[in-house]
Structure 1
Amino acid sequence: MSEKTRPAKPVSASRVETTHFVTPPDVNYLGNLAGGKLMHWMDLTAAIAAGRHANAVSVTASVDSLDFKHPINLGEVVIIKASVNRAFNSSMEVGVKVISENLITGEQKVCNRAYFTFVAIDDSLSPTSVPAVLPETEEEKQRYNKAELRRQIRLLNKG
C-alpha cells in the first residue's frame, strides 16, 4: 500500500502507556533503577507506539536526547508514555516521557524524556511507507513541528 493511499492517523492512535514496578533485580548498587533497564522499557513502549501507527513491525533506528533528570528508587512505579510525533517516509519519531511515582506519598516526577526514531519494515525486512501523523491538539502540533527540526539535525549529524 503506498503512502498516498494510507490515510493520516491521529497521534492518539499511537499513544501507549506502560507501568512497571521497580523490584530488586531492576536496580543498580545505589538502589536506583538501572539506566539500561529503563532504556529497555522505554524502547519497548516506543516500539508499540510505532507499530500501532505503522501497522507494521517497527525497529529502532536511533535514540537521541535521552536525559536522566531524577533517579527512580526501588519500590517506585515507573509510568512510560509514548506516541508518534511525526512520520516521514518509512520512519517515525516517537516521543517518550518517563514518570516515577512514589506509592506512599503519591509524588510523581518527570524523570526522563527521549526521542526514538523507528523504521517500519515489511515481510522482506525492507523499509515500508507509513501513514502521516495528524496532530490535533496545540501540544501535538508543536511536537509535530519540532520533530521536523530534530530530523534535520539528525540528518546533518549523520553525514
Structure 2
Amino acid sequence: MEHTNTVKASKITLTELMLPSHSNFSGKIHGGYLLSLMDQIAFACASKYSGCYCVTASVDTVNFLNPVEIGELVTLKASVNYVGSTSMIVGIRVTSQNIQTGKIKHTNSSYFTMVAKDADGNNVKVPRLILSNMEEVRRFYEGIKRNEQRKNMQEHETTFDYTTPEALENLKKYNVIIDL
C-alpha cells in the first residue's frame, strides 16, 4: 500500500517568549538561538510528516530581516513544501510580536532539507505529498527549483578550476590581494 500525507498534516507552530538569556551582547536575541529553534521545528515537521526520525541535510539562506527583542513572542511556522524519495524541504517562517503593542514583524524565512532515517541510520522512503491547493503547488515547484539550483552549484564547485590564470586574473575585481 502506497503511503501518502498532506501538507496540512505536516504543519507545526511553535511560540516562545524571548528571555534575556537568549540575547547577544547588543541586547537583541542571538541569531544562533533562532537558528536552533528553526532546526527544532524543521525536525518536528519532517518527523511528523514522515513518521520517522529525521536529520538536517542542508539549510538554505537565512536572512535576518528584523531584530528580535527581549520580551517578544517569537512564532515559528513550518510545513513540508516538497518531498523527494527520502528527503523533504521544510519551509519555515519566523515572526516576532511585541506583547505590549501587538506589532508583528517578519524576522526570518528559510528552507531546511531533512532526510528520513530508520533505527539503523539508513535513509527511508517518505510518503508521497498530496497537494491540495495552488499555494501548495507553487511551493512544491519552488522546491524543485531549489534542488536544481543546489545541484548546479555543487557541479560548479567540483568542475571550476580556480588555479587557472583567468581565474586568478578575475580576482582583481574583488577586495583581495594575491600574494602567492
Question: Does residue 76 of structure 1 match 2:82?
Answer: no
Q: Pairwise CA RMSD of aligned residues?
A: 0.9
Give, in angstroms, the shift of residue 155 of structure 1. 1.7
Stretches of structure 2 that go unaligned for 5 or more consecutive residues are 156-180
How far apart, CA to CA, are the structure 2 residues paired with 1:6 and 1:110?
38
Matches within 5 A, 1:6-155: 6-155=2-151
Give, in angstroms, the shift of residue 96 of structure 1. 0.3
Q: Is the 8 A contact 1:86 1:132 kept in 2?
A: no
Q: Which has the higher strand share?
A: 1
Stretches of structure 1 that go unaligned for 5 or more consecutive residues are none
Give, in angstroms, the shift of residue 87 of structure 1. 0.6
Q: Is the 8 A contact 1:17 1:82 kept in 2?
A: yes
- In our comparison, the structure showing a higher alpha carbon Rg is 2
Deviations 1:58-113 (A, max 9, x none): 00000012111000001101000001001101000000000000110111111100
Normalising by structure 1, we get a TM-score of 0.94
How far apart, CA to CA, are the structure 2 residues paired with 1:141 and 1:104?
38
Normalising by structure 2, we get a TM-score of 0.84
Tell me the percent identity: 35
- Which stretch of structure 1 is more off in the superposition, 128-137 or 88-97? 128-137
Amino acid at match of 1:16: I
Amino acid at match of 2:29: L
Paired positions, count? 155
Which protein, 1 or 2, shows the higher relative CO under an 8 Å CA cutoff with sep ≥ 6?
1
Amino acid at match of 2:32: G
How far apart, CA to CA, are the structure 2 residues paired with 1:111 and 1:76?
12
SS in 2 for 1:139: helix
How far apart, CA to CA, are the structure 2 residues paired with 1:93 and 1:117?
4
